[in-house]
Amino acid sequence: MAKMNSISQIILSIHLLIRLASGQSFLECNNTANFTSDSTYSYNLNRLLYLIVRNTGNATGLFFSTSIGQGSDQVYGHSFCQADFAGQRCNEVMNDLIGAITSRCPNQKEAIAVGIYGIRYANRPINGIVELEPTRDPADLQDLDLDTTTQFYKIWNGLMEEVAEKASRKTVIKFATGEANYSSSDSDDRKIYVLMQCLPDLSATNCSYCLRQVVSYYRSKFDGKAGGYVQKPSCWFRWEFNPFYQITTGVAPPPPQLSPPPSPVRIVKDSRNGGITFKVVVITVVAIFFLLVVTLIYILYRRKKTSNYQPSQDFYEDTKFLQFDIETLRIATNNFSIHNKLGEGGFGTVYKGRLSNGENIAVKRWSKTSTQGEVEFENEVVLLAKLQHRNLVRFFGYCFQESERLLVYEFVPNQSLDSYIFDSQRRVELDWNKRYKIIEGITRGILYLHQDSQLQIIHRDLKPSNILLDEKMNPKISDFGTAKLFAVDQSQISTRRIVGTYGYMPPEYAIYGQISTKSDVFSFGVLVLEILSGQKVSDFGNAQANDNNLLSYAWRNWKEGTPLNVIDKILMRSGSRHEMVRCIHIGLLCVQKDLGRRPSMASINLMLSSHSVTLPVPSKPAYLMTATDLKEELIMKEQSVNEVSVSDLSAR
């Protein structure tokens, strides 16, 4: 097997060199700025190239972008694979491509290699920006051999418009193909084949603009030629008279088998107690039978709804290279053995697995009785395919076969945060330094979602059970089924569907359905107070002081000048009390009722990293009430929404 892998690597390397030499790929250095091998820029570039190898191709996605460093030493970069090439193990050519680009451009701060796979880096922002130069095109093309080109170009132009529009509308992978018959004879099936792709971090408008530019460039330079391609840094296209790309189509799963109806209920009269007992039995049995019928109808409805559900074709096309085969996951999890079970949540059961290459994975298996459905499933796949951050759980892919819905993640060995801070035995494993490190990591992860990723995402269900801990106790935010995608220019939206967990929701969202980044800030504040105190926001109670939850207890002690009362007694043995009190202060700032007074995650990150930053005085926390009180208020509020889906306060 090792020998076969070596041969495969050699073939891929030769393939890469041939494409570079033939002009189908190109590599250029920008000589306007250079760096030395022992400089900070060189160090940052090496880190970026390492991340590219780790995060591009295979199960981790067809596109990766990031920036490393600050100021003049900051390096921006991205890598990609053409969507129809990923099946040829895109990840394996990245090492070779990095070797080629660093060998050809040893000390240039900006370089680009573009083909069916590519790497680009620069000392200026390039991610999410349309770049049209440099351009690569074929050196020589044959002339069109047609009786008339007027009708041909009418069809050709229409196909180019159609495929460009299709590619630009994609959300995860901006890739599309198309074909059209250009012959006037029905018996003649001569066709035009075209492929177009943009870098995924471009907006739909920018992608459409870029693709129209490459088509316009082709027409201006190669009018009357047969086939060809144009490659620009942000997008590319190719067309031929013969098929040249490979497309796989998602296979729809079969509908689930329905269970047979229950046997009829027999009613027996008790002669010893006369008619009264008979009436009681009849009423009881009828009531039970009615409940059984209602339950059966509900189950059948849910199963029918599930069996009728099929992901959209765009969903399959955008995520086809993230698909796992059901048999692969059955083998990896020993057929979802109970011995491989890691836990259960709102989506279903999570199993540990091991792939054939030795990599450990976690497989989340959807339960047919789950309160989460197809919306959450698609949402999590589409969002996580675009996200890469050390404090987010890594997403490998999904499976939608044989009525199974499975999500595949990296395996995080130390379970979730709630299994430590709320456990009287295990909480001793988290001293103050570890808890502070966890708070900082969660902060960076949310900041990435809100501000630094190519999307703007509101998580909507931040809580200890959704924070996983790796082997070094680094936090990783998980469970994006309820996350909400924001447009770049949006600051707040309203929804009729409330999802999340009572106790972690701010009042403007729980009661009125208003979502903003400050929704996650509120949840983060509750999370910080729980980490500090080792107490659940819902279970906390202090009757003597009339504290009905953790927020009121923290607020009262803050006002009385006794914030150390809030801190877990285990933490008082060591660690900086100044840092602990400062974190209580930050937590109270996050849970203020007025969302305008809550700090942003960027401000929180600064507060945690620099103790010289002066913190504002917090105001009273939002609704000092229990989860039960909040539920009652929701029912009483006429403004409350009709469709509510909320998790219980217990860990999912």
Residues with a catalytic annotation lie at 461
Beta-strand pair 175-181/456-458: unpaired
Output the six-digit token pair for 518: 């400050």
- The closest alpha carbon to 581, from 407, 436, 396, belongs to 436
Number of Cβ within a 10 Å radius of residue 372: 23
Helix/strand/coil for 197 = strand
Q: Residue 98: in which H helix or E strand, if any?
A: helix 90-104
Name the DSSP class of 241: S
Cβ-proximal residues to 468 (8 Å cutoff; 6+ apart), any chain:
393, 412, 414, 415, 416, 417, 475, 476, 477, 478
Please state whether beta strands 497-498 and 643-644 pair in parallel, antiparallel, or not at all (unpaired): parallel
Token pair for residue 376?
A: 């959450």
- Write a three-state SS string for 503-549: CCCCHHHHCCCEECHHHHHHHHHHHHHHHHHCCCCCCCCECCCCECC
Specify the amino acid at residue 608. Answer: L
Closest CA to 120 of 63, 43, 197: 63
Element (H, E) at 109: strand 108-114
Backbone angles phi, psi at 178, to 5 degrees: -165, 165
Residue whose C-alpha is closest to residue 173's, from 135, 202, 205, 130: 202
Burial class (CB in 10 A: 0-12, 13-18, 19+), 294: exposed
Query: Length of the chain, please?
Result: 652
Contact assessment for residue 198 and residue 235, using Cβ atoms and an 8 Å cutoff? yes
Find where tokens 């792939």 sit. Answer: 355
| Cβ 233 vs Cβ 207: under 8 Å | no
Q: What is the rounded CA–CA span in Å between residue 118 and residue 292?
A: 59
Number of CB atoms found within 10 A of residue 291's CB? 10
Which of 42, 16, 58, 51 minimizes the C-alpha distance to 102? 42
The pair phi, psi for residue 362, each rounded to 5°, is -120, 130
φ, ψ (nearest 5 deg) of residue 67:
-140, 150
Query: Pairing between strand 395-401 and 404-410?
Result: antiparallel
DSSP conformation class of 323: B
